């Protein structure tokens, strides 16, 4: 049995506490008026906005004076019946300028108000994604009747324990969004939909009640499988010798769950991420998110396994088990890169404005995180984990794993932030706080769950194969 130490508990609580402080500050400093939003942007640009505004005002004043001189000349040369027309034109121009300014200010306000919400969403989704990816990887091993990972099942089951609190947090967040607590999903704004023909064509699918209903179906289905599989797994440990009924039931429900999962995971990625840009779509997006999900899941499995072995647990887990995990880390990283490049290349080559805008926004406004995460998620794992010897080195796996986790966190950041905050992004209180809070919560839930059952699935009929596994 693993002992969830007091020191680790305190560490997770400190992380959650610091995270809550950061998130709270992030929400408190968010602007509440257009004037505050404009002042915040001006301060962030170090007075550039003010200078620009002054220059703009000077040009506008000059143009206005010239216009007045021109109007005076017209008055002196034309009949008085033109007077009303000129005044009407000036009123219309001023009204248009005011409306444009109000719309821009309102848009800026929404972007800055979205920032802490988006940071919270990025962190909540990322750690939920790790648990869900682990659940999928676990189900694949169960359905394939794989022998090598049996000794790692308890680690996987511990990670999937985060599904319950993660699901509650995600669903509450989506409900609050549907109640207009934020402006992350523009298709939820009735006024926006009324003036957007593209979104109007999708309203049969993109509407709040159906959106929340689908989310509930996804979450209930995933959590139900996790509950049943865990139950059958623990029951098999206590079964009589030769009684493998629980093992067979786990095999059957795992095979059925995978069908449900691959359908709902794609739909989830459309709903929760892709619909943030309702004008854009990609047929590869579901697979792309899945690849990110699996590589982070396997990486976390490897890191926790190495941690437990460093504390004297899992003595039967050998270098071959870690080598296989590192191979999956390498393979899924390459798979992710293939999907990323395929999606990027097809959209970029076709050069259809409503499609390529997605990448133009990220290249122009998110240049460093966009290209940085490609290096972190592809080049680094490729160069480090290509060697078979490196795949057996714990410290190299840990180093590569940390980079992969951070790289895919930035990937999720790139998926969500451009559509919600535009070019008004920066790493602030909310971003740091969100990561720390959910990292602490994730660690607390996972290690607590690992401590609740024996670390070795001794009742599994293939456990002997896992103990003798040598690659």
Q: Is residue 95 part of a domain?
A: no
Q: How high is the pLDDT of residue 102?
A: 65
Q: Is residue 128 part of a domain?
A: yes
Lowest mean pLDDT, pick from 2-16, 76-90, 293-307, 385-399: 76-90
Q: Is residue 101 part of a domain?
A: no
Integer Rg of the chain from CA: 27
Quick check: 53 pLDDT over 70? no
Which of left, alpha, beta for 378 (phi over 0: left; psi -120 to 50: alpha)? alpha
CA pair distance 262, 221, nearest whole angstrom:
12
Q: Is residue 429 part of a domain?
A: yes
Lowest mean pLDDT, pick from 58-67, 95-104, 116-125, 368-377: 58-67
Coil, strand or helix at 461: coil
Q: What share of the chain in percent tops pLDDT 70?
A: 87
CA pair distance 263, 261, nearest whole angstrom:
5
Q: 266 vs 423, which has greater pLDDT?
A: 266
Q: Give pLDDT tens digits for 347-400.
A: 999 888 888 999 999 999 999 999 999 999 999 888 888 888 888 889 999 999
Query: Mean of the pLDDT values across residues 279-293?
Result: 94
CA pair distance 154, 150, nearest whole angstrom:
8
Helices (H), 145-207: 153-160, 163-178, 190-194, 197-200
Q: Determine the structural domain holding residue 131 and report its residue range.
A: 18-36+114-467
Q: How confident is the model at residue 84 (pLDDT cuts 50, 70, 90)?
A: very low
Q: Is residue 361 part of a domain?
A: yes
The continuous run of DSSP H or E covering 394 comes out as helix 394-421
Coil, strand or helix at 30: coil
Q: Is residue 6 part of a domain?
A: no
Query: Mean of the pLDDT values across residues 17-23?
Result: 97
Q: How high is the pLDDT of residue 354?
A: 84
What secondary structure does DSSP assign to 265-329, as a single string? Answer: HHHHHHHHTGGGSTT---TTHHHHHHHHHHHHHHHHHHHHHHHHHHTT--TT--HHHHHHHHHHH
Q: Is residue 221 part of a domain?
A: yes
Q: Give pLDDT tens digits for 158-191.
A: 999 999 999 999 999 999 999 999 989 999 999 8
The CA-atom distances, in angstroms, between 371 and each of 126, 180, 282, 381 are: 19, 33, 20, 15
Q: How high is the pLDDT of residue 426?
A: 84
Structure-block tokens of residue 209: 């009640």
CA pair distance 394, 381, nearest whole angstrom:
14
Burial class (CB in 10 A: 0-12, 13-18, 19+), 95: exposed
CA pair distance 300, 306, nearest whole angstrom:
10
How many distinct structural domains can be found in the chain? 1
Cβ atoms of 430 and 120 within 8 Å: the answer is yes
Q: Is residue 137 part of a domain?
A: yes
Q: How confident is the model at residue 32 (pLDDT cuts 50, 70, 90)?
A: confident
Angle, in degrees to the nearest 10, between helices 34-44 and 48-77: 120
């Amino acid at each position: 049995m693993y002992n969830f130490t007091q020191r680790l508990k305190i560490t997770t609580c400190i992380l959650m506490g610091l995270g809550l402080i950061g998130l709270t500050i992030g929400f408190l400093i968010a602007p509440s008026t257009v004037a505050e939003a404009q002042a915040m942007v001006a301060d962030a640009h170090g007075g550039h906005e003010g200078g620009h505004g002054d220059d703009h005002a000077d040009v506008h004043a000059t143009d206005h004076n010239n216009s007045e001189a021109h109007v005076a000349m017209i008055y002196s040369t034309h009949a008085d019946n033109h007077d009303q027309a000129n005044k009407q034109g000036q009123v219309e121009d001023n009204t248009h300028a005011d409306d444009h300014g109000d719309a821009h200010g309102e848009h800026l306000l929404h972007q800055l108000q979205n920032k802490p919400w988006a940071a919270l969403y990025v962190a909540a989704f990322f750690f939920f994604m790790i648990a869900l990816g682990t659940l999928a990887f676990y189900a694949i091993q169960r359905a394939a009747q794989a022998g090598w990972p049996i000794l790692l099942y308890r680690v996987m089951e511990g990670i999937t324990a985060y599904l319950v609190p993660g699901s509650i947090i995600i669903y509450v967040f989506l409900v609050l969004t549907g109640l207009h607590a934020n402006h992350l999903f523009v298709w939820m704004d009735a006024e926006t939909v009324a003036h957007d023909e593209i979104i109007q064509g999708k309203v049969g699918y993109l509407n709040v009640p159906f959106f929340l209903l689908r989310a509930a179906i996804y979450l209930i289905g995933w959590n139900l499988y996790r509950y049943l599989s865990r139950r059958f797994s623990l029951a098999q440990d206590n079964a009589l010798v030769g009684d493998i009924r629980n093992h067979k039931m786990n095999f059957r429900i795992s095979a059925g769950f995978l069908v449900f999962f691959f359908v709902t995971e794609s739909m989830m990625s459309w709903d929760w991420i892709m619909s943030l840009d309702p004008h854009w779509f990609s047929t590869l997006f579901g697979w792309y998110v899945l690849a990110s999900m699996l590589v982070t899941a396997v990486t976390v499995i490897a890191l926790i396994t190495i941690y437990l072995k460093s504390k004297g647990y899992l003595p039967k887990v050998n270098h071959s088990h870690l080598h296989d995990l590192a191979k999956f880390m390498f393979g899924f990283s390459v798979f992710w890169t293939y999907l990323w490049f395929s999606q990027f290349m097809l959209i970029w080559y076709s050069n259809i404005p409503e499609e390529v805008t997605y990448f133009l926004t990220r290249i122009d406004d998110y240049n460093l995180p966009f290209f940085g995460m490609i290096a972190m998620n592809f080049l680094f794992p490729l160069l480090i984990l290509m060697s078979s010897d490196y795949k057996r080195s714990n410290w190299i796996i840990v180093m590569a794993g940390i980079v992969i986790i951070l790289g895919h966190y930035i990937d999720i950041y790139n998926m969500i932030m451009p559509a919600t905050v535009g070019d008004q992004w920066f790493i602030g209180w909310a971003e740091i706080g969100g990561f720390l809070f959910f990292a602490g919560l994730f660690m607390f839930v996972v290690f607590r769950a690992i401590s609740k059952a024996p670390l070795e699935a001794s009742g599994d009929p293939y456990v002997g194969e896992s103990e003798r596994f040598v690659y």
